[in-house]
């Protein structure tokens, strides 16, 4: 047994036993405490954290049944559920050993003990303790890492009726294990929905694994999702768990499920139906327990009609459908989204008071946002970085907010205000929203152009 920073407590009412334990075990551990009176256990455990506790099963009240040992074992585990306890007795038998392990003991030794055997037993118990502590630390780090990764997805904002309906659906289905299909254009926040469902589910403390189906080549699909064993193919140098195994107990999010080739859909369907995966190169099925959430930006029902998606797979993945509206249909949400992103990026880039000019906000509201919320987020981040002012105007945005067919100037339009409005829009579009350059081309001062922009609600 290696002399590591370990602490051991030995509890026995026999002074000779305590002396023997001290002489033997003190050579191998950093801290060794002994105690005759088990009534002092609560105080000892409140003041110290022991790696291993050796506990006598029979004290003065009862010299042979071991009942006191079982009672104190239960009390120790109540005070410290992670405690490693080895029970010791001179009256042990197989039945009592089995009872002790079932009651939570790690091991069982008989008095008088053989020194080598006791050292080996304590050494194994210490290894178990350190393994458990390391596993607990890894779980905590994984939990914190997952929380950090998930932090960017916490702020899910929306006040328009379509988003209120989305929030309501999330609230109703999150607590179930129903499979969910999220539909929406790129940039609408499909992963936001998936993570919101996971956070509100019974699996919230488990992992959330996200897989972009479109980014996995057909040749690696089975290996990535189901895993493989060493030697299964040329580059399989070691056993590897797939995403389904890694997500066991938690949530698996398959993004862009519409990109899955028809040839692989049957394999995915089989896994979902059996709740088992078989690693590539193996014949042994592995049980999995996952909450499945899928998403796509494609018209998945049209894909079924065109025989691009198996209908039975669609039935399997869309117990509940959640449809996310594009940003152009969520205009009431835009000011709230803009304020949220500006607050975050202002803090990130040392500009905590940055805000939108009313003219810039109107320009943002007029834009069609083909990239949806993601495009808005990136536009605002760039504006915060590049602007030298704490107030963002139209000139701080590089997209052409006015390029819509409805705004194009037509030769038959002779209404002076309409002509002026269209010309201003074209100038702003030409100069990517830069008011100063647009004003110069129009022969106006910057202030004059701003007045016209406000007049025409641009």
Q: DSSP string of 321-364? A: EEEPPPGGG-GGGHHHHHHHHHHHHHHHTT-TT-EE-HHHHHHH
pLDDT reading at 397 higher than 70: yes
Angle at the Cα of 87 from the Cα atoms of 83 and 92, rounded to 5 degrees: 160
Q: What is the pLDDT of residue 52?
A: 94
CB 278 within 8 A of CB 229: no
Q: Rounded mean pLDDT of 241-255?
A: 93
pLDDT tens track for 279-294: 999 999 999 999 999 9
The matching CATH number, chosen from 3.40.50.2300, 3.30.1490.20, 3.30.70.20, 3.30.1340.30, for 4-133 is: 3.40.50.2300
| pLDDT, tens digit (0-9, with 9 covering 90-100), for 192-210 | 999 999 999 999 988 899 9
Percent with pLDDT over 70 in the chain: 87
Give yes or no for residue 150 having a pLDDT over 60: no
What pLDDT is recorded for position 364?
92
Q: Residue 56 is inside which H or E element, if any?
A: strand 52-56
pLDDT at 20: 92
Residue 406 pLDDT exceeds 50: no
pLDDT at 72 over 80: yes
> What's the CA gap between 300 and 311, in Å, rounded?
10
Asked if the model's pLDDT at residue 107 lies above 50, the reply is yes
Among 352, 357, 446, smallest CA distance to 393 is for: 357
Domain 152-325 adopts which CATH fold?
Answer: Rossmann fold (3.40.50)
Q: Decide which of 215 and 17 is more confident.
A: 17
Domain borders along the chain are 4-133, 152-325, 331-455
CATH architecture of 331-455: Orthogonal Bundle (1.10)
pTM score over 0.85: no
Q: pLDDT tens digits for 155-171?
A: 678 899 999 999 999 99
For range 325-346, the mean pLDDT: 93
H/E element, 132: helix 115-151
Q: Which two tokens stand for residue 47?
A: 């003041």
Residue 407: per-residue pLDDT? 43
Is 152-325 the same fold as 4-133?
A: yes
pLDDT value of residue 35: 93
CA gap 191, 227 in Å, rounded: 24
Alpha-carbon distance 213 to 124, whole Å? 44
Instruction: Determine the average pLDDT of the residues in 363-377.
Output: 90
The mean pLDDT of the chain is 85
Whether residue 325 has pLDDT greater than 90 = yes
pLDDT at 92: 60
> What local confidence, expressed as pLDDT, does residue 420 receive?
80
Task: Give me 345's structure tokens.
Answer: 């990026």
């Amino acid at each position: 047994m290696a002399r590591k920073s370990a602490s051991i407590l030995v509890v026995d009412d026999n002074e000779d036993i305590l002396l023997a334990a001290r002489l033997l075990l003190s050579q191998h551990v950093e801290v060794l405490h002994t105690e005759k009176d088990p009534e002092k256990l609560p105080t000892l455990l409140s003041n110290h954290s022991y790696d291993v506790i050796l506990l006598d099963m029979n004290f003065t009240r009862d010299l042979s049944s071991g009942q006191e040992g079982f009672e104190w074992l239960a009390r120790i585990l109540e005070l410290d559920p992670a405690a490693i306890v080895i029970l010791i007795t001179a009256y042990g038998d197989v039945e009592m050993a089995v009872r002790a392990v079932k009651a939570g003991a790690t091991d069982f030794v008989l008095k008088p003990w053989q020194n080598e055997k006791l050292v080996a037993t304590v050494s194994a118990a210490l290894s178990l303790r350190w393994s458990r502590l390391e596993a607990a630390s890894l779980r905590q780090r994984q939990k914190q890492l997952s929380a950090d990764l998930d932090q960017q997805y916490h702020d899910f904002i929306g006040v328009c009726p379509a988003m209120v309906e989305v929030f309501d659906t999330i609230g109703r289905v999150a607590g179930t294990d129903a499979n969910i299909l999220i539909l929406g254009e790129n940039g609408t926040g499909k992963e936001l929905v998936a993570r919101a469902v996971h956070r509100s589910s019974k699996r919230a403390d488990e992992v959330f694994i996200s897989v972009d189906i479109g980014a996995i080549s057909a040749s690696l699909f089975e290996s990535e999702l189901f895993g493989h064993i060493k030697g299964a193919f040329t580059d399989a140098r070691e056993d590897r768990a797939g995403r389904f195994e890694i997500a066991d107990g938690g949530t698996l999010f398959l993004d862009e499920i519409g990109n899955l080739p028809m040839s692989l859909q049957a394999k995915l369907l089989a896994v979902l139906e059996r709740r088992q995966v078989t690693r590539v190169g193996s014949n042994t099925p592995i049980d999995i327990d996952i909450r499945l959430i899928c998403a796509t930006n494609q018209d998945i029902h049209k894909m079924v009609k065109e025989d691009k998606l198996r209908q039975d797979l669609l039935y399997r993945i869309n117990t509940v459908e959640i449809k996310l509206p594009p940003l152009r249909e969520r205009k009431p949400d835009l000011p709230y989204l803009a304020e949220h992103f500006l607050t975050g990026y202002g803090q990130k880039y040392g500009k905590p008071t940055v805000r939108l000019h009313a003219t810039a906000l109107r320009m943002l509201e007029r834009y069609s946002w083909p990239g949806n919320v993601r495009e808005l987020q990136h536009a605002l981040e760039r504006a915060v970085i590049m602007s030298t002012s704490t107030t963002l105007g139209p000139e701080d945005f590089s997209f052409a907010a006015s390029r819509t067919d409805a705004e194009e100037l037509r030769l038959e339009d002779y209404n002076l205000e309409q002509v002026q409005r269209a010309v201003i829009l074209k100038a702003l579009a030409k100069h990517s929203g830069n008011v100063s350059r647009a004003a110069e081309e129009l022969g106006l001062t910057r202030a004059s152009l701003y007045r016209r922009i406000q007049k025409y609600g641009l």
